[in-house]
Structure 1
Amino acid sequence: MRHPPRLSALLGGAVLTLASTALAVVGTAPGAAAAPLCTVQYSVVGSWAGGFQGSVTLTNNSATLHGWTLGFSFPGGQEIGQGWGAKWSQSGASATALNESWNGTVGTGASVTVGFIASWSGSNSAPTTFTLDGAACSAVPGPTNPTPTPTATPTPTPTGPTDPPGPVSGAPELSVTGNRLTDQNGATRRLLGVNRSGAEFMCVQGHGIFDGPVDDASLRAIAEWEANTVRIPLNEECWLGLDNIKPEYRGSNYVDAVRGLVSRVLAHGMTPVVELHWTYGQYTGNSSGCSDVHASCQKPMPDAQYAPAFWTSVANAFKTDRRVVFDLFNEPYPDRATPATGQPWSCWRDGGTCPGIGYEVAGMQDLVDSVRATGARNLVLVPGIAYSNDLSEWLTHSPVDPTGNLAAAWHVYNFNTCSNEACWQSSLAPVAARVPLVAGEIGENTCGHAFIDHVMKWFDDRSLSYLGWTWNTWNCNSGPALITSYDGTPTAFGTGLRDHLRALN
């Protein structure tokens, strides 16, 4: 959702170096063999029947690289289907990764990580020989995630009817089971609650971190509406600590504030959904929200320069607590920039160079891979296109997740294209029949609740999830806003959501 106008921030340039911990270069004694020019770590991040996700980290032990080509051969007939972080090609067993424009420079001792999805049959042995621009690299073993060995399923003993499992108390660890969200007990769960906007724009505009209080009292007021979920929009540059953001609102100060809010949401028994809202990259095309290169408005797609690093950092911050949900990107709209048939959805999933978008794009697959490469198994929400209002080709183009823990995210307002039951039945129902569906934002600009009443009933009838936009004291026409005070006093619009949530419990 776009936001009420606020003061523009004076933003400066920033560069984030894409590098992971480098391996030390050890000097050699006279006559000793020279250290290899590079070191490569090959890892299998996840695997499944007939396929796997690979990760390759190249560490440069020599002079700064200004462009690079990594080569290796698969020993088991593996074939790469798609990749990221490099321009991938394969001829027979030989695979080649050529740098992208944004990661071609790799300093001495610095590293770059690339990844891919591949198929295999018979054997999935790791490559042992790697080259950098034709010169041999040393190889170090990486972690592997071997394909599980199938086990026989015992024949169940017939029993009488049993009661369904009871839900766990407090915020659950959510998993995808078919088209349902389930908790640790196997009980079906729904995400029902509100958005808490502010952390996506206050920091980049130089006003603070949150818009209004996020203390225990304000969260207690949300819980008293019988909400069980709070979605928290975030800003890429503020989290990563880029220097165009005021020091007091960026980096560790911002991260600590968000972690504190997440902890308080959990303490009140609610599920926190952390979401990437505003991102880097200059876009001035159709439906542009701003001409600024910095993360000061909604962009059509996340950027390849910083968004994967954002999700790597966020996933590392919360991967030990599976009660935290990850929402990959607020409202993609590559369809406004690349209207040709098929292009928007390809851009959405695969990223890269997308016609009409002047920066390198990170696709949904890139972001899923960034999350899973950390070992995080948290539930991930993946939005559609057309400001998350179009899921028509979500099933066809959905990213691959080795954990199988993806749900579809959708947004709807009374002014969207897909805002009627005929559209919901034709485009949402098939998705909801296959995977869990979460309406991450529902709202209307009428200061009433007739439209969201209709949305909530349709979703209730199918046991689906929805979150109202937004728990902020804005004008309900421009917000729209659910409250007039952070003590939970509702607007007329908010009254509809509050009363409905209370009636469900």
Structure 2
Amino acid sequence: MQGVKRRTRKWMALAVTALAVLAAGLGILAPSAAYAAEGCKVDYKIASQWGGGFTGDVKITNLGTAVSSWNLVWTFPNGQRVTQAWNATTTNSGDTVTARNMSYNGSIPTNGSVSFGFNGSWSGTNGTPASFSLNGAVCTGTVGEPSTPPTTTPPPTGGADAMETVQAMQPGWNLGNSLDAVGADETAWGNPRITEALIDNVAAQGYNSIRIPVTWDNHQSKSAPYAVEDAYLDRVEEVVGWALDADLYVLINIHHDSWIWMADMNANRTVVEDRYEAIWTALAARFRDAPPELLFESVNEPQFNNVDDTTAYALLDDLNTSFHSIVRASGGGNADRVLVLPTLHTNADQGRLDALSATIDALDDPNIAATIHYYGFWPFSVNIAGYTKFNDEVRADLEGYFDRAYNEFVANGIPVLVGEYGLLGFDAHTGTVEQGEKLKFFEYAGYYARQKGITLQLWDNGQHFDRTAFTWKDPELFTAMKAAWTTRSGTASTDQVYVGRTATVADVSVTLNLNGTTFQGLRVGSTNLVQGTDYTVSGSTLTIKASRLTTLLGDRSYGVRGSVHAVFSQGAPWRISVISYDQPTMSAATGAAATFAIPTQFKGDQLATMEAKYADGTPAGPQNWTSYKEFGRAFNPDYTAGTVTLPTAFWSEVNDGQKVTLTFHFWSGRTVTYYVTESGGNVTGSLT
């Protein structure tokens, strides 16, 4: 690629403990300053602390001659460990920690200061280190004689570069359903044509990387030698160039081809291999001289038809190995470009991880990264089987997923990129998962990925960032995600307080999830409410007083009447909506199954889930292993129209002529029971 500038990264590299221990064990030291410090002072404080974890803030003041780079060394007194750092890279060797400057904060003038922070783990006691040494000189708060700089060994190339590259890509964003769209061109799936302004605005949101999925099927000859259209390569190169010029790391791949034609590899191996190799040969040649901020991903979500896992692993190994050989042999920047290899289905089940590990071990290439995708615990992600809340089971699934990826790869020096993450329910309806529960998922995913040194790239097929207005369709969600890039946010047991429209207004309590923060206060807009008058706090229990609720409820008409925001010591505030409601009601109806909708007066309430059972109590409708149906697929509320629709997908798996009892569960805790019978394509619905 001609004319692409080399960039200086603007984002901190996150330090991963396992890689640091590996580096320390190999005797690798980062270069020190040309001269050690003559005098220095260190301010160390614990900014926040929670069970098993804490956040530390460190400020270095140089009292001597200016230094051009620095390393700060200390020893923890109680076995603490740094798990992640910002504005510095850290290594642990037993209890001793060495923090080194980033490219942008190495210089400290005389009497100048630099600060960095970290998250750490602790148990029992979290004591303060007794002393600190800057570039080999003990920081006493006074000026002394300069010491001799230590002998150093240059940092390694290869694997360390791959780790640093992938961590510098955090956070990332996907340009989904554009160049990967299956159809005539990039607008085939409803998104506008990509513009340079879009890319620039994505970068302006704070993202450091962009994944550009590309589907090649309609732009490749279906006969040997399977040539790729030059015009399409030109278009991909144009978009990649915009992203590089916007100072973004860029990842391109082979995308939906994985299921369009590659899935038949076992039955049509020669053609699949030839097509695959033709694409990567063309891409390797086109981007041979692109800067190292461009990464290649061998294939998206690899899958193979009519084979067992053992065969599938072998087929994927063949593709990944071929990809590696083609790119490396093309020379130029491709000789050591970071290459990203997926697990089967980009899934983090242990067998998938083990199979990819075997491939990576055989390649023996330090510039390899692994990729997986994560869309959450499936019943929660699509709101089925009664999983309406971000509960302990949902959280445990997330932790297990990231833990397995960390233990398999990151702990062994191989970076992990979660090339897509989000909630599957977004594909049907962005309201599939209730707002507060959605925010808890994204807050925790961002936090836990940081603990494991794993980079996340948000899947956005147009439902999140408006690609012409350049605004977020859910600003509250983006605020929560952005906070999770660097810190934790407090949440609460709920973001909804329901008050009956004619009921006596009483105090209402919610439980705060502090997540290592401290509660600072309650606000309405920019106005701070008065503790003791408008609210009280006892431990983690926040109680909103009846007098404040009455003010917020106003005339008590149905719906959200106002909201308060719980403010914490860090992260995003937590909104709590105050809602006036009455018992929802439904009316009898008849109609064709294809268009049947239940007239509904929601009366300010919101639908959480729906149960469907036959008279004998067995589940009815699709996914008949559970009575709780899938939100947005088997039922869909329309609050504006005043209906709940039961689409064809529901009726196609209901027994003809058999009465079904529907129980609608609302977020207020209220329920409505309704009966439906479908016969010959026509539906009768009633309250009895």
How many residues end up aligned between the 2 structures?
309
- Alignment TM-score, normalising by the size of structure 2: 0.39
1:218 Cα shift?
Answer: 1.1
Given that 1:197 and 1:233 are in contact with CA atoms closer than 8 Å, whether structure 2 keeps it comes out as yes
Tell me the distance in 2 between the aligned counterparts of 1:195 and 1:154.
35
1:156 Cα shift?
Answer: 11
Read off the aligned partner of 1:456 and give its amino acid letter. Answer: G
Tell me the distance in 1 between the aligned counterparts of 2:29 and 2:238.
48
Aligned equivalent of 2:353: 392
Q: Identify if the C-alpha distance between structure 1 residues 402 and 197 changes in structure 2 by more than 3 Å, giving closer, same or farther.
A: same
Tell me the distance in 2 between the aligned counterparts of 1:458 and 1:430.
16
Given that 1:175 and 1:181 are in contact with CA atoms closer than 8 Å, whether structure 2 keeps it comes out as no
Query: Equivalent of 1:411, from 345, 360, 373?
Result: 373
Aligned equivalent of 1:149: none
1:209 Cα shift?
Answer: 6.0
Aligned equivalent of 2:255: 277
Query: Equivalent of 2:164, from 159, 182, 187?
Result: 182
1:371 Cα shift?
Answer: 1.2
* 1:182 match: secondary structure: helix
Aligned equivalent of 1:487: 470
Aligned equivalent of 1:437: 416
Given that 1:179 and 1:436 are in contact with CA atoms closer than 8 Å, whether structure 2 keeps it comes out as no
Aligned equivalent of 1:231: 211
* 2:210 match: secondary structure: strand
Given that 1:225 and 1:501 are in contact with CA atoms closer than 8 Å, whether structure 2 keeps it comes out as no
Aligned equivalent of 1:196: 175
Tell me the distance in 1 between the aligned counterparts of 2:217 and 2:465.
28
Tell me the distance in 2 between the aligned counterparts of 1:301 and 1:490.
45
RMSD: 4.3
Given that 1:368 and 1:399 are in contact with CA atoms closer than 8 Å, whether structure 2 keeps it comes out as no
Asked if residue 347 in structure 1 is aligned to residue 325 in structure 2, the reply is no
Tell me the distance in 2 between the aligned counterparts of 1:378 and 1:401.
14
1:305 Cα shift?
Answer: 2.3
Aligned equivalent of 2:199: 219
Q: Identify if the C-alpha distance between structure 1 residues 189 and 464 changes in structure 2 by more than 3 Å, giving closer, same or farther.
A: same
Read off the aligned partner of 2:248 and give its amino acid letter. Answer: M
Aligned equivalent of 1:473: 462
Tell me the distance in 1 between the aligned counterparts of 2:269 and 2:185.
25
1:398 Cα shift?
Answer: 2.6
Aligned equivalent of 2:138: none
Tell me the distance in 2 between the aligned counterparts of 1:415 and 1:454.
13
1:300 Cα shift?
Answer: 12
Q: Identify if the C-alpha distance between structure 1 residues 238 and 252 changes in structure 2 by more than 3 Å, giving closer, same or farther.
A: farther
* 1:277 match: secondary structure: coil
Aligned equivalent of 1:268: 246
1:411 Cα shift?
Answer: 0.4
1:436 Cα shift?
Answer: 0.7
**What percent of counterpart residues are identical?**
15
Q: Residues 150-184 of structure 1: CA distance to partner in whole angstroms, max 9, x if unpaired?
A: xxx99999996933253479xxxx9743496236x
Name whichever of 411-420 and 423-432 sits farther off. Answer: 411-420
Given that 1:176 and 1:405 are in contact with CA atoms closer than 8 Å, whether structure 2 keeps it comes out as yes
Given that 1:309 and 1:370 are in contact with CA atoms closer than 8 Å, whether structure 2 keeps it comes out as no
Larger Rg computed on CA atoms: 2
1:278 Cα shift?
Answer: 2.2
1:235 Cα shift?
Answer: 1.6
Given that 2:243 and 2:250 are in contact with CA atoms closer than 8 Å, whether structure 1 keeps it comes out as yes
Q: Residues 33-76 of structure 1: CA distance to partner in whole angstroms, max 9, x if unpaired?
A: xxxxxxxxxxxxxxxxxxxxxxxxxxxxxxxxxxxxxxxxxxxx
1:452 Cα shift?
Answer: 3.0
- Alignment TM-score, normalising by the size of structure 1: 0.52
Gaps of 5+ in 1: 1-152, 351-362, 475-480
Tell me the distance in 2 between the aligned counterparts of 1:282 and 1:490.
31
Aligned equivalent of 1:320: 289
Name whichever of 458-467 and 390-399 sits farther off. Answer: 390-399
Asked if residue 373 in structure 1 is aligned to residue 355 in structure 2, the reply is no
1:347 Cα shift?
Answer: 2.3
Asked if residue 253 in structure 1 is aligned to residue 223 in structure 2, the reply is no
Read off the aligned partner of 2:320 and give its amino acid letter. Answer: M
Query: Equivalent of 2:301, from 299, 310, 331?
Result: 331
Given that 1:300 and 1:337 are in contact with CA atoms closer than 8 Å, whether structure 2 keeps it comes out as no
Gaps of 5+ in 2: 1-26, 38-69, 72-99, 106-155, 380-395, 431-437, 489-570, 572-688
Tell me the distance in 1 between the aligned counterparts of 2:220 and 2:170.
28
Q: Identify if the C-alpha distance between structure 1 residues 220 and 240 changes in structure 2 by more than 3 Å, giving closer, same or farther.
A: same
1:366 Cα shift?
Answer: 1.2
Read off the aligned partner of 2:321 and give its amino acid letter. Answer: Q
